[in-house]
């Protein structure tokens, strides 16, 4: 049965890849990232920039994408949205997300970031360009957006229910998580996994487990390793039996009968993998050509060393699931490989540009294991600090002792708090977020004694920037930091 389903799985992948190949020059770009990493904002900014890049009337004097060669050399002639390729997948709500950033119905006072993603969606962009020899060409780019939580499920594919139970329980006993897990652990601690199946008990265990996972995600903890992803973002599966399971305290080496509570939980865990995780993996991940991995290192730094360690673990777990390297026509048909991966530390606009190199060094350090693995597979890797949408500008402010500090100015979101000052969402503020450490290793260390803040950095969330219009009333592409460098790395060679 499992051999047959594996065979069917492979056949479906080959059929999809064949379809992709006959569709003409095209690239499937994976935009990967844990929840709140900035995927939806990045995709929106990418489309906003690339559909406007060939229109000089939508520039503020200077070229907004100087490092993106096809555009800088004036060879990008058109960027347009096309009907997406998969009829069964909803369309990425580009217009809605962009309108949110600009301010719905032209009211800039209500501009806000797009909502957290709860469903998969997809979009196709067609770029028309001139090759350096003058030949006209097109490149089609498919991009998929999905809830970041679902990404955490990929590592489950290789785990049995017993392994997953053991690992999840171990993690929940760590000092950083134990308090959050207390009620759930107490509940399952009283259960005998050999007892008969009991729907009510399974439901209660699953609910307490979900509450624990949600607690871990709160800003002050900002933990990253929290599978199963659908427990946090169920999409259309809320309340379904596929989500009604939980780890149990199992005894090593015991095979639990099918009619026991453990047997039922195991069946549901396997069903979750078969019916939810595998299709997501097959329909999305296996077909990617290139990958940008967005990492919100700043939120983890804000929450402290335990969150940073957790983020590092989550990133290396996830990246094992990528297929990387250079394939030939045949191997690409069977198993397309990701030949380029860009690791991007997002939201760099929270920092003065003098700290961007340090942020980049931190991300390089966090993804070290993943980078070595990908490079060994033959993929080309780069690491950047970037802001898909730049919500701040820079300024010098003077610190308490009169020293000059490199700060950023923006409008903090309503409710953001720095040292007891609560922002109202309208007032601008100059913020010195603290210096990132020169030595990236220090991010794994707890704050210095004497520090009053939960950590030594203070990043607040800012509102999106005020939109700027051209004389005809069209909104210009939003400001960004190094988005053009990302485009050049991910797309540049395909636009030559």
Ligand X SMILES: Nc1nc2c(ncn2[C@@H]2O[C@H](COP(=O)(O)OP(=O)(O)OP(=O)(O)O)[C@@H](O)[C@H]2O)c(=O)[nH]1
Identity of the residue, 248 or 481, whose beta carbon is nearer to ligand X in the bound complex: 481
Identity of the residue, 224 or 244, whose beta carbon is nearer to ligand X in the bound complex: 224
Instruction: Please state, in angstroms and rounded to a whole number, the distance separating the CA atoms of residues 38 and 296.
Output: 8
Among 27, 29, 30, 35, binds ligand X (CB under 6 A): 35
Identity of the residue, 13 or 344, whose beta carbon is nearer to ligand X in the bound complex: 344
As given in the structure block, the two tokens for residue 76 are: 């990008």
Q: Report if residue 37 touches ligand X, rule: CB under 6 A.
A: yes
The CA dihedral of 100, 101, 103, 104, to the nearest 10 degrees, is -20
Q: Report if residue 389 touches ligand X, rule: CB under 6 A.
A: yes
Among 28, 36, 52, 177, binds ligand X (CB under 6 A): 36
Q: Report if residue 284 touches ligand X, rule: CB under 6 A.
A: no
As given in the structure block, the two tokens for residue 385 are: 């600090």
- Tell me if 432 sits within 8 A of 397, measured CB to CB: yes
CA 318 to chain centre: 11
387 binds, among ligand X, Mg ion, none (CB under 5 to 8 A by kind): ligand X
Q: CB 111 → ligand X: shortest distance, Å? A: 12
Q: Which residues bind to Mg ion, rule: CB under 5 A?
A: 39-40, 117
Identity of the residue, 145 or 382, whose beta carbon is nearer to ligand X in the bound complex: 145
The contact mask relative to ligand X for 235-274 (x = CB under 6 A, - = no) is ----------------------------------------
Q: Report if residue 234 touches ligand X, rule: CB under 6 A.
A: no
Among 114, 227, 234, 433, binds ligand X (CB under 6 A): 114
Among 224, 346, 367, 455, binds ligand X (CB under 6 A): 346
495 binds, among ligand X, Mg ion, none (CB under 5 to 8 A by kind): none
- Tell me if 293 sits within 8 A of 283, measured CB to CB: no
Q: Report if residue 308 touches ligand X, rule: CB under 6 A.
A: no
Among 148, 229, 336, 433, binds ligand X (CB under 6 A): 148
Identity of the residue, 413 or 429, whose beta carbon is nearer to Mg ion in the bound complex: 413
* Residue 422: burial class (beta carbons within 10 Å; 0-12, 13-18, 19+): exposed
**C-alpha angle with apex 51: 45 to 57, nearest 5 degrees?**
105
Q: CB 298 → Mg ion: shortest distance, Å? A: 17
Stretch of residues binding ligand X (CB under 6 A), selected from 33-41, 176-184, 258-266, 439-447: 33-41
Q: Residue written as tokens 């096809």?
A: 70
Among 30, 33, 215, 229, binds ligand X (CB under 6 A): 33
Q: 456 — alpha (psi -120 to 50), left (phi > 0) or beta?
A: alpha
Q: Report if residue 363 touches ligand X, rule: CB under 6 A.
A: no
Name the residues that contact ligand X, by CB under 6 A: 33, 35-41, 113-114, 116-117, 147-148, 346-347, 349, 387-389, 391, 461-462
């Amino acid at each position: 049965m499992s051999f047959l389903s594996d065979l069917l799985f492979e056949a479906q992948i080959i059929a999809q890849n064949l379809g992709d190949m006959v569709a003409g020059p095209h690239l499937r770009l994976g935009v990967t990232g844990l929840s709140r990493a900035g995927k939806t904002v990045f995709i929106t900014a990418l489309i906003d920039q690339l559909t406007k890049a060939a229109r000089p009337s939508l520039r503020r004097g200077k070229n907004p994408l100087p490092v993106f060669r096809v555009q800088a050399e004036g060879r990008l002639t058109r960027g347009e949205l096309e009907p997406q390729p998969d009829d069964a997948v909803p369309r990425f709500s580009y217009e809605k997300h962009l309108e949110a950033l600009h301010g719905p119905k032209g009211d800039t006072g209500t501009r806000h970031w797009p909502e957290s993603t709860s469903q998969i969606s997809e979009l196709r962009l067609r770029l028309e360009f001139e090759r350096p020899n003058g030949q006209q060409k097109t490149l089609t780019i498919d991009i998929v957006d999905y809830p970041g939580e679902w990404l955490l499920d990929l590592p489950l594919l290789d785990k049995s229910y017993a392994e997953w139970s053991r690992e999840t329980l171990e993690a929940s006993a760590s000092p950083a998580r134990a308090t959050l897990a207390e009620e759930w652990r107490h509940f399952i601690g009283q259960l005998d996994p050999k007892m008969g199946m009991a729907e009510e008990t399974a439901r209660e265990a699953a609910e307490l487990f979900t509450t624990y996972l949600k607690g871990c995600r709160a800003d002050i903890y900002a933990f990253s390793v929290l599978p199963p992803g659908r427990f946090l973002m169920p999409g259309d599966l809320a309340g379904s039996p596929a989500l009604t399971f939980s780890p149990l305290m199992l005894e090593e080496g015991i095979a639990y009968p099918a009619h026991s509570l453990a047997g039922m939980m195991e069946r549901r865990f396997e069903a979750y993998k078969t019916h939810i995780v595998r299709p997501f993996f097959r329909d999305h991940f296996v077909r990617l050509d290139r990958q940008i991995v967005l990492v919100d290192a700043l939120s983890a730094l804000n929450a402290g060393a335990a969150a940073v360690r957790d983020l590092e673990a989550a990133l290396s777990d996830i990246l094992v699931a990528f297929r990387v390297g250079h394939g030939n026509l045949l191997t690409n048909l069977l198993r397309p490989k990701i030949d380029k991966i860009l690791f991007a530390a997002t939201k760099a606009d929270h920092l003065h540009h003098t700290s961007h190199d340090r942020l980049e060094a931190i991300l390089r350090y966090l993804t070290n294991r993943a980078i070595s693995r990908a490079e060994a597979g033959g993929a080309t890797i780069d690491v950047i600090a970037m802001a898909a949408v730049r919500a701040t500008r820079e300024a010098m402010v003077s610190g308490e002792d009169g020293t000059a500090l490199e700060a950023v100015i923006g409008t903090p979101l309503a409710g953001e708090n720095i040292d007891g000052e609560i922002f109202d969402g309208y007032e601008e503020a100059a913020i010195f977020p603290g210096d990132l450490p020169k030595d990236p290793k220090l991010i794994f260390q707890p704050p210095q004694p004497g520090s009053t803040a939960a950590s030594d950095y203070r990043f607040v969330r800012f509102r999106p920037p005020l939109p700027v219009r051209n004389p005809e009333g069209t909104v210009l592409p939003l400001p960004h930091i190094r988005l053009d460098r990302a485009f050049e790395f991910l797309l540049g060679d395909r636009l030559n």
